[in-house]
A and B are shown apart, each in its own frame.
Chain A
Amino acid sequence: MSAEISPASAGAFTWDRAWRGALKPVVFVLCLMPLLWLIVRALTVGLGANPIEAGIRYLGDWALRFVLIALAVTPLRIATGWNIVARLRRMLGLFAYFHVVVHIFGYVGVDHFFDWAAIGNDIVKRTYITVGMMALVMLTPLAITSTDGMVRRLGGAAWRRLHQLVYPAAVAGVIHYFMMIKAGYQEPLLYAVILAALFGVRIYKKWA
């Protein structure tokens, strides 16, 4: 991850400096909106006849979207030259992980109410759960090593190598989605296409 230049260094007020300083807090608040919206709906109009299923799926969708959004930062920077967006990458990655965790809590804590025997059975028997679990296993060390201290301790090269795990994790997330569906694959296909495009930009950049 690129080192951050503090925008708060001394100097007079300028609009440019102000929006640079505001970018992160604003994006942070925006990133909280999907979960907030879910909670507000759950407490007011409700989430339909099967609220647990609706909640788990909604959070799964956002987990995958945040993974893709975090992966889109670098291509966006390359395409536009807006170097400032690089500052958002860590936060977006952590939001992805946060939604993964809440998504899985919906399954473990709400749907199965910590019935570990049933959950263990699911992880072994239901391939889409196995694949989701694999994605979780790949994403967890990335979240743990996201702090500046960890980047320093690992060293940039090792850290970057470790964080390559986000690619197989993203692929596993899309496969997990494909596998849980019975028929009609348009939505996961859309995610697959977006993921392929994000890969495409990186590969193109490497060779061009």
Chain B
Amino acid sequence: MLIRHKKPSDVASHEITPESVYLDRRRFIQASGLIAGSMILGAPAGQAAVMPAKGGQFADVTKGYRKLGENDTPTPFESVTTYNNYYEFGTGKEDPAENAGPFKPQPWTVTVDGLCAHPGTVGFDDLIKPHALEERIYRMRCVEAWSMVIPWVGIPLAEIVKRFEPLGAAKYIRFETIVRPAEMVGQRSAHILPWPYVEGLRLDEAMNPLALIAVGLYGQPLLNQNGAPLRLVTPWKYGFKGVKSIVRISFTEVEPKNTWREMNASEYGFYANVNPKVDHPRWTQATERRLGGGGLAGILEPRRRTLMFNGYEEEVAHLYDGMSLTKYY
């Protein structure tokens, strides 16, 4: 298991905002052994919390996977945080950014159950802290034929899976989004989707190094509209696989019934691998619109060809050897 450790250079790189001063003070207090002081600041005794102070950046993020094409410019923060599909906060693209304010992503616990050696309920820090945070820049392709390039902060899902030691019978992993209608307006209507939102992966997909549990983007904690405090990112699959605000992880023998497939099995499958050759009844999957900062440039930008497995063929194609991707879409 990887242990987080601070590099001296990190301190200097975060000294721009008052929040970082706050963080540095915490480091100083810990370094001087003033454990009581760190408790006042809200972290467990002797440990810094994973989450930076409000508005701050994560400390100690190593640069991870970032294989990008020539035309893959990261989508601006503004677009990534104002154009979201997160029906728990409303069905419009701007609804999540507008409605997610009251949602409280901390404190947070995740229940791990099913076919694994160490079921139980873990706090957010206990879940994330033992692992090194990485920044990974991935393309994200939505089933609606638009795409973004997003610098995520997170940890490999494989590391979490290993920690809970799935049993031999476990074939799938199932994720559940929190149900909190008091803070999530969309959930007050049962007509939108059946809650909770459920997604899943085959266990070998979950173990693929690309699968990420994201806790942030652009160096800072996920905003509520992006699935705070933790969500799944599987860049070779359509965006709806990226279940947000996860409260439950289960290891199962049977294929999880993911929400969109339950809603409309002819349009959404379990695998949902990005595939320009398998069309969707509503959107062509052959091309996509890459989103940048909007504006006139966004109007004039032509569509681009969608890549098999969203361009991650080399990393994931072997998972589907001998499988019909038309049948298992």
Contact = CB atoms under 8 A, between A and B. Distances in A.
A180 B282 contact: yes
B298 A50 contact: yes
Contact of A126 (B75, B78, B264, B281): B281
Contact of B303 (A42, A112, A127, A183): A112
Interface in B270-308: 279, 281-284, 286-287, 289, 291-296, 298-299, 302-303
Contact of B93 (A48, A118, A125, A185): A48
Interface stretch (B158-166, B185-193, B207-215, B321-329): B185-193
Interface residues of A, number: 30
B286 A183 contact: no
Nearest to A117: B286
Contacts of B78: 49
Contacts of A121: 284
B281 A125 contact: yes
- Would you call the interface of chain B mostly helix, strand, loop, or mixed? loop
B73 interface: no
B146 interface: yes
A48 B87 contact: no
A31 to B, nearest CB: 24
Interface of B: 75, 78-80, 82-83, 87, 91, 93-94, 146, 186, 189, 191-193, 263-264, 279, 281-284, 286-287, 289, 291-296, 298-299, 302-303
A52 B79 contact: no
A51 B298 contact: yes
Contact of A51 (B193, B294, B303): B294
A112 B284 CA distance: 11
Interface string A71-102: 00000000000000000000000000000000
B82 A48 contact: yes
B286 A118 contact: yes
